[in-house]
A and B are shown apart, each in its own frame.
Chain A
Amino acid sequence: MLAHLSILQVVVPLMAAPLCLFLNRSKLVWLFALLVCAFTFVNSIFLLQQVMSSGTIIYQLGGWDAPWGIEYRIDELNALLLLIISAVGTIVLFAAHTSIQKELPESRHTLFYSLYLLSITGMFGIVSTGDVFNVFVFLEISSLSGYALIALGKDRRALWAAYQYLIMGTIGATFILIGIGLLYQMTGTLNMADLANRLAEVNQTRTVFAAFTFLIVGICLKLALFPLHLWLPNAYAYAPSIVTAFLAATATKVAVYLLIRFTYTVFGIEFSFSILPLQNLFIILGLVGIFAASTAAIYKTNVKHIFAYSSIAQVGYMIIGYAINTTTGLMATLLHLFNHALMKSALFLALGAVMYRIGSVQLSQFQGLGRQMPLTMAAIVIGGLSLIGVPLTVGFISKWYLLLAVIEAGMWPVAVLLLLGSLLAVLYVWRIVETAYFKPPLPGREAVQEAPWTFLAPIWILVLANIYFGIDTRLSVQVAQAASQSLFGINP
């Protein structure tokens, strides 16, 4: 069975999603889904080990050779992404049973788990496949289930947010489809490795240039890169808490993966960074994104909004590391993918706990929570510190490598601006800390209890991971380095 690990990663949750409908008892379905996610988590660890020890895994679906059939191709980058998604997916799901009891009507529980599994299947599919059209299909699985999950939110604004996301997401997907079509037309193939070979001949044509542009714009829509981020804040703010925690930690990461995969593997580094002023463009957009989004975060009154805007700012950091176009820069981006998933899932899950207890995440409602929900609030503080990039947290590690890469490339002004951007993060995190710890509890509200252990356990697992990987960086740095080097074609 060891040879089939890569396909099991996708097919097991895919088959589990319809099976949910047969169980139809909230708790049972939850246990089942949790089990399935845990399986994918263990599976992804094995995959990572296999890739690190014996190189890229290639798996031909249906037994057909590559450009005719579809193949799965898993290298360090794919394995890292699979690990991030399955880890976050499992830990977040642990709190789901408690959380959705307050946020969703009973009749929707089974459907919720089914959609959750489909969403995770879609993401696994995107990051496993070596075929560009297959990317589109699984992109749609994860997007459609994502829209439906967001629309499950209690607030009616969730519906509107989901609709906007649907329109933007579908435009993005259609752009990607156009890009794939143009590529196919010039090369006659859909396989990524084959494309990379055959594109070399035709990459001076205007058609390939157009294909490149459409793919980049389409992916950036999904990525919520400033200024294409408009769908994100409301979608995150009004979705059910579990959904926010899961999507915030994974969805944009998958888009970053696609960006890296297309530019580095399919089009090739030289082509990608010479045909468009991609480097300058992305660095500027990244910086503007960091400042605009962080400033917006400072003025928001809904804490979920604050962290949603912070997510847009974090995308800025990732994109800058990517745009520097050196092994260190890419490594910083990959580290940040991993680290940011840990921070945001912890933070949004903690907000889910607050939502569970007081039914709101308005900043004004946080008064006095520092004493009443000490463990949850402590988690938010540590997560916030990590977001700022304080030493001993994971946030520090990724910012450190990012600065290193920027300085290595001699871009001093960018380095200064990055540090200034982190100061803005201090401001929005401080507002939450101030309200929670230094303001008296709201008058007329009964004492709020600490969140139940089903919340605290996953939150603190994530928080401790934030600290652990902030101190012992061997694992994350090693994997990120290997992935980055293999993308640059350097054999370690």
Chain B
Amino acid sequence: MVLGLYNYWIVVLLMMIGFYIVIAHGNLIKKLVGLTIFQTSVFIFYISMGNVENGSAPILAEGLSRYSNPLPHVLILTAIVVGIATTALGLALVVRIKESYGSIEEDEIQIQDQLTEDKT
């Protein structure tokens, strides 16, 4: 059982490291980095389940009969694109936040917001 599943466990570990960065860190860019790692690990999980023993890449050729499952590959191609789209938008937001708050640390921004709220 250990041998059959260890691959997934490593992926879970990676996912959780990414997830931890997202929720525990206060730096906005680092949060996005965490998100990227989290997502990439999910991709690895998908690709892992498409793998077959003794299979080959899903490009049809003479003399091959067993191929990896192409469907997870397709899904992940899409998901990678979605991921980079999210990252790009997130970074654009961070740049704007830096411009208007002068900081990219979560708590400093919250303090500034508190101050504006108290004024009104």
> CB–CB under 8 A between A and B in the complex?
yes
Contact surface of A with B, Cβ cutoff 8 Å:
133, 136-137, 140, 144, 147-148, 151, 156-157, 159-160, 162-163, 166-167, 170-171, 174, 177-178, 181, 184-185, 190, 301-302, 362
| Chain B residues closer than 8 Å to A160, beta-carbon distance | 97, 101, 109, 113
Q: Contact string, B51-89, partner A, CB cutoff 8 A, digits 1/0?
A: 000000000000000000001100100110010011001
B49 lies within 8 A of chain A by Cβ: yes
Contact across chains for A181 and B109 when beta carbons are under 8 A apart: no
**Docked pose: A459 CA to B90 CA in angstroms:** 34
CB distance from B43 to the nearest CB of A (A): 9
The main secondary structure of chain B at its interface with chain A is: helix
CB distance from A136 to the nearest CB of B (A): 8
**Docked pose: A151 CA to B101 CA in angstroms:** 14
Interface residues of B in 3-32 (CB under 8 A from A): 15, 19, 22, 28, 31
Q: A140-B86, A166-B86, A170-B86 known; A181 and B120 CB under 8 Å?
A: no
What 5 A-B pairs are tightest by C-beta distance, nearest first? A156-B100, A163-B93, A140-B82, A185-B49, A159-B97
A-B contact count (CB 8 A): 72
Contact across chains for A163 and B86 when beta carbons are under 8 A apart: no
Contact across chains for A133 and B96 when beta carbons are under 8 A apart: no
**Docked pose: A140 CA to B116 CA in angstroms:** 32
**Docked pose: A147 CA to B82 CA in angstroms:** 14
Contact across chains for A177 and B86 when beta carbons are under 8 A apart: no
**Docked pose: A171 CA to B79 CA in angstroms:** 14
**Docked pose: A140 CA to B80 CA in angstroms:** 12
| Chain A residues closer than 8 Å to B75, beta-carbon distance | 133
CB distance from B18 to the nearest CB of A (A): 9
5 A–B contacts from the bound complex (CB under 8 Å)? A156-B97, A162-B93, A163-B93, A174-B35, A174-B38
Contact across chains for A167 and B109 when beta carbons are under 8 A apart: no
CB distance from B71 to the nearest CB of A (A): 8
Chain B: interface residue total (CB-CB under 8 A):
32
Contact across chains for A144 and B85 when beta carbons are under 8 A apart: yes
List 18 extra interface pairs beyond A133-B78, A157-B116, A190-B71, CB under 8 A: A136-B79, A140-B86, A144-B85, A151-B93, A157-B113, A159-B100, A160-B101, A166-B86, A166-B90, A167-B22, A170-B86, A171-B35, A174-B39, A174-B42, A177-B42, A177-B79, A181-B49, A185-B49
CB distance from A105 to the nearest CB of B (A): 14
| Chain A residues closer than 8 Å to B100, beta-carbon distance | 156, 159
| Chain B residues closer than 8 Å to A144, beta-carbon distance | 85-86, 89
| Chain A residues closer than 8 Å to B101, beta-carbon distance | 156, 160
| Chain B residues closer than 8 Å to A148, beta-carbon distance | 89
Q: A159-B96, A159-B97, A160-B113 known; A178 and B45 CB under 8 Å?
A: yes
**Docked pose: A33 CA to B90 CA in angstroms:** 27
Q: Pick from B38, B72, B75 the residue with the most CB of A within 10 Å.
A: B75
Considering only CB atoms, which chain A residue lies closest to B46 in the complex? A181
| Chain A residues closer than 8 Å to B39, beta-carbon distance | 170, 174
| Chain A residues closer than 8 Å to B79, beta-carbon distance | 136, 177
CB distance from B113 to the nearest CB of A (A): 6
CB distance from A216 to the nearest CB of B (A): 17
Considering only CB atoms, which chain A residue lies closest to B74 in the complex? A133
| Chain A residues closer than 8 Å to B46, beta-carbon distance | 181
| Chain A residues closer than 8 Å to B113, beta-carbon distance | 157, 160
Q: Pick from A137, A156, A362 the residue with the most CB of B within 10 Å.
A: A156
Considering only CB atoms, which chain B residue lies closest to A181 in the complex? B46
Q: Which of A133, A167, A181, A362 contacts B35 (CB 8 A)?
A: A167
**Docked pose: A426 CA to B86 CA in angstroms:** 40
CB distance from A114 to the nearest CB of B (A): 14
Q: A157-B113, A362-B120 known; A166 and B85 CB under 8 Å?
A: no
| Chain B residues closer than 8 Å to A184, beta-carbon distance | 49, 72
